[in-house]
Amino acid sequence: MTDSTGRYPLWELLSPPSTWGAPERTALRAEGTRVLYADGAWRLCATSGLWNVNLGYHNRRIVEAITDALGETAYFTLFRGTHRWAVEAAETLVRLAGAEAFGRVAFATSGGAANDLVMKVARQYWALRRQFRRRVVVGLTGSYHGLTYGSHALTGMSLAQSYYSVDTSLVRHVAHDDPAELKELLEREGDTIAAVVVEPVLGTGARTVPDAMLRALQELRRRHGFLLVADEVATGFGRTGPYFASARWEGAPDMLVMSKALTNGTCAAAAVLVSHEICAAFERGDAVLTHGETQAGSPATCAAILATVAEMERLQAVRRGTEVAARLDALLGGLAAIPIVAGSDGAGCFRAVRLAQDGEQLSDRTVADIVERVRGAGVVVSAGPSCLQLAPALIYSDEDVEQLSAVLHTVLAEVADERSAAVVAR
């Protein structure tokens, strides 16, 4: 579809203009775990939308809750006031994450905006405690926290930060799998570190932060006093097994970020839960946090949060996700025999199939081509760095897993044979 100038009207994000408007990637409707595209094909979604539709598409109870809230009011703000839906949603999230650890919720509209908020809270917390040097925020190399200016700086992979003049002067990055770099940084700049932000599983590439690194983080937090933040935008709401991956940590984080599955993909929503100590610091100074978003915590959004939590419990989604994860273990084990499969990473229903040939990782272009072939065979997966990323809904059926397995086996085996033949031909 084009406008009167002949130009396609939509700017599709994170893809070049030459690919825009393709019917096989233009979604029309969805139901459960399948999506209908403009080329007429229903495809199995193995990405849960953008890792956020944990309970499948078009969950009617969530839709009805949003509709009911809109029927009572189109909009209320959280600027210098509140409304009943926001209070109830905040109480529910504190209960879920643990009232012994967290005391308050700040709402945002995206994971990126929520990470901006985290950086503000961390810096203001230390200013309230008169430790003005603590302004540096540390992330992990390879992490993804969003593309707003603050979160873009915190994101630990190269995504054109210098091109857009993103200010990274008060951000550092250290390895996700070895505490040596963090220890060295703290020895050098420890009294300037405000917070360390950790994705339990790195959002790009699905690399799990090892237990040894998590233990070291806790010890270093005790020694150096920085705030520890769990960015569970991707891992929250049962994606990796427990409701929140950080629930398995030795000590609770000082802030917990959630977004993607918070409304089962229905509304632009995020939430930052903060510890009692952070609450107390702001209360002692009666301090105002200078952050606000017009649509953050709207009645419809908070109704969606409440309905999503209720549906997670009604559908026993955490238990079912654990069962799906066990089937994924078997699936990934079966793929290991294919020559271009170099292994797998991730946890629960958040996995990556590593791709390489003769010890050399496959290029981004090759991975993208494989993703399109998988799409052509009826399944939607996403591309990661030298990998295919799998994030199926927690409510996947045996039939869904079998289809995913069959398509991946077929396509990856075909690609391996073609690449092997090309090597022989040379």
Co-location of 145 and 122 in the same domain: yes
The CATH number that applies at residue 349 is: 3.90.1150.10
CA distance 132 to 17: 45
| Residue 91 in domain | yes
The CATH number that applies at residue 259 is: 3.40.640.10
CA distance 204 to 367: 14
CA distance 260 to 81: 25
Each residue's pLDDT, cut to its tens digit, for the chain (426 residues) gives 565 678 999 999 999 999 999 999 999 999 999 999 999 999 999 999 999 999 999 999 999 999 999 999 999 999 999 999 999 999 999 999 999 999 999 999 999 999 999 999 999 999 999 999 999 999 999 999 999 999 999 999 999 999 999 999 999 999 999 999 999 999 999 999 999 999 999 988 899 999 999 999 999 999 999 999 999 999 999 999 999 999 999 999 999 999 999 999 999 999 999 999 999 999 999 999 999 999 999 999 999 999 999 999 999 999 999 999 999 999 999 999 999 999 999 999 999 999 999 889 999 999 999 999 999 999 999 999 999 999 999 999 999 999 999 999 999 999 999 998 877 676
β-partners of residue 37 are 27
CA distance 70 to 107: 19
CA distance 320 to 239: 11
- Please state the domain count of the chain: 2
In the three-class reduction of DSSP (H, G, I as helix; E, B as strand; rest coil), residue 384 is classed as strand
- Domain endpoint, select from 272, 296, 314: 314
Give the pLDDT of residue 4. Answer: 64
| Residue 371 in domain | yes
Can you read off the two tokens belonging to residue 236?
A: 């929250």
Co-location of 76 and 213 in the same domain: yes
Q: What is the DSSP string of 156-206?
A: -S-SSTTTTT---TTEEEE-SS-THHHHHHHHHHGGGEEEEEE-SB-TTT-
Can you read off the two tokens belonging to residue 257?
A: 């970020």
CA distance 306 to 300: 10
- Domain endpoint, select from 280, 314, 348: 314
Give the pLDDT of residue 332. Answer: 97
Co-location of 45 and 184 in the same domain: no
CA distance 236 to 301: 17
Co-location of 421 and 401 in the same domain: yes
Model pLDDT for residues 263-289, shown as the tens digit of each residue: 999 999 999 999 999 999 999 999 999
| Residue 10 in domain | no
* Residue whose entry in the numeric block shows the structure tokens 């238990």: 319
Co-location of 32 and 70 in the same domain: no
Model pLDDT for residues 114-167, shown as the tens digit of each residue: 999 999 999 999 999 999 999 999 999 999 999 999 999 999 999 999 999 999
Co-location of 195 and 104 in the same domain: yes
Co-location of 155 and 235 in the same domain: yes
Co-location of 235 and 325 in the same domain: no
Task: Give the residue numbers spanning the domain of 420.
Answer: 17-55+316-425
- Closest by CA position to 398, among listed 30, 33, 31: 33
| Residue 257 in domain | yes
| Residue 291 in domain | yes
| Residue 210 in domain | yes
Co-location of 180 and 195 in the same domain: yes
CA distance 259 to 269: 6
Co-location of 191 and 306 in the same domain: yes
CA distance 375 to 27: 13
| Residue 69 in domain | yes
Co-location of 128 and 156 in the same domain: yes
Q: Which residues of 35-45 are buried (b: 16+ CB within 10 A; e: fewer)?
A: bebeeeeebbb
Give the pLDDT of residue 420. Answer: 85
Co-location of 297 and 402 in the same domain: no
Give the pLDDT of residue 1. Answer: 59
Four-CA torsion 292, 293, 298, 300, nearest 10 degrees: -160
| Residue 126 in domain | yes
- Domain endpoint, select from 284, 314, 344: 314
